[in-house]
C-alpha cells in the first residue's frame, strides 16, 4: 500500500462547479499535511496547509480527519485557472511524502 494515495483523476468539471478530492495516508504518526498545486511542466507550489480544525482560503477548504487518516480539498465556484494537478503532501519527521496527484480540468 502506498504511504499517500490519491485518485489520479482526471476530474473534468464545468466552470463554476464544486469539486472535492480526498487523500489517504497510511502512517498514523504523520504530523503535518499540505495541498500543493502543480501546473503542467512547472514546479509544485503550496496551495494551503491542512489543520485539524479545518481551514478555508477563499474558494478552497481543506479538512483533516486523523481518525480515518484522510485529508480533503474542496474547491467551490471553480475557475478555468484552477486546472492543474493537486498534490497531497504528508510530513512525518521531515520525511515528506507526496501523493501522485489528482488532475483537475475545468471546462468552459
Partner 1 sequence: GAGVSQSPSNKVTEKGKDVELRCDPISGHTALYWYRQSLGQGLEFLIYFQGNSAPDKSGLPSDRFSAERTGGSVSTLTIQRTQQEDSAVYLCASSLVPGTDYEQYFGPGTRLTVT
- By CB under 8 A, name the binding residues for partner 1: 31-32, 34, 42-46, 49, 87, 91, 94-101
Instruction: Work out how close the CB of 44 gets to partner 1 at its nearest, in angstroms, rounded to a whole number.
Output: 5
Can the peptide bond before residue 70 be classed as cis, meaning omega within 30 degrees of 0? no
> Residue 103, CB half-sphere, CA atoms under 13 Å: how many?
6
Closest CA to 32 of 58, 52, 14, 7: 52
Instruction: Work out how close the CB of 85 gets to partner 1 at its nearest, in angstroms, rounded to a whole number.
Output: 9
Instruction: Work out how close the CB of 77 gets to partner 1 at its nearest, in angstroms, rounded to a whole number.
Output: 25
CA pair distance 14, 29, nearest whole angstrom: 38
| Residue number, 18 or 32, with CB nearest to partner 1 | 32
| Residue number, 15 or 44, with CB nearest to partner 1 | 44
Closest CA to 23 of 51, 3, 4, 2: 4
| Residue number, 74 or 92, with CB nearest to partner 1 | 92
47: left (phi over 0), alpha (psi -120 to 50) or beta: alpha
Instruction: Work out how close the CB of 16 gets to partner 1 at its nearest, in angstroms, rounded to a whole number.
Output: 28
| Residue number, 8 or 16, with CB nearest to partner 1 | 8
Amino acid at each position: 500500500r502506498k504511504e499517500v494515495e490519491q485518485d489520479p483523476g482526471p476530474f473534468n468539471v464545468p466552470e463554476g462547479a464544486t469539486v472535492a478530492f480526498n487523500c489517504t495516508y497510511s502512517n498514523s504518526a504523520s504530523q503535518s499535511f499540505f495541498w500543493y498545486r502543480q501546473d503542467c511542466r512547472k514546479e509544485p507550489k503550496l496551495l494551503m496547509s491542512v489543520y485539524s480544525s479545518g481551514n478555508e482560503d477563499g474558494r478552497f477548504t481543506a479538512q483533516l480527519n486523523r481518525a480515518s487518516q484522510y485529508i480533503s480539498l474542496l474547491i467551490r465556484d471553480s475557475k478555468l485557472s484552477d486546472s492543474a494537478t493537486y498534490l497531497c503532501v504528508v510530513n512525518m519527521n521531515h520525511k515528506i511524502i507526496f501523493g501522485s496527484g489528482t488532475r483537475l480540468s475545468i471546462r468552459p
